[in-house]
Amino acid sequence: MRIVAIHHDGWTEHRLRWRLEIVDGRADLEADWSGNPSPWGATFRLDEGPIRSALPLISGMGEDYRAPLDDQEDRDLLIEDGETSIRRHVYGAAFLVEGHPEVKDFIKFWRLLERAIEGSLPADVRP
């Protein structure tokens, strides 16, 4: 299984942004945030079990969701597993949940990824 998740904070797209790539349980994280002189990275092991279990949450979604507002969080996701490929893009999720309840499931899935990387980020940028 290969997962690529990219997050931009939205407000400036520079306060915090990160890219996570997971291949067969090995997670490579690159993060950048305002005030940091250069990108920061970490490699760690990640249990894919919870991620695999959550795949049905997003498999039935559409591929692209965009709120009609500026300066919102931007989330890109690619999951490849054998012959299966899932791509999702959600911009401004908080403003889409009411009209697109499936976006709430995407947020639940995304939170799994966020929890997995939070321990790897330096303490001064953890949510």
Q: Which residues of 32-67 are buried (b: 16+ CB within 10 A; e: fewer)?
A: bbeeeeeebeeeeebebeebeebeebbeebeeebeb
CA distances from 30 to 36, 89, 120, 122 (A): 12, 19, 10, 12
Asked whether 75 and 6 are in contact (CB, 8 A), the reply is yes
Q: What is the pLDDT of residues 47-88, one digit of tens each?
A: 888 888 888 888 889 999 999 888 888 999 999 988 889 999
Domain map of the chain by residue range? 2-125
Domain 2-125: assigned CATH number: 3.30.1560.10
The arithmetic mean of pLDDT across residues 9-14, rounded, is 66
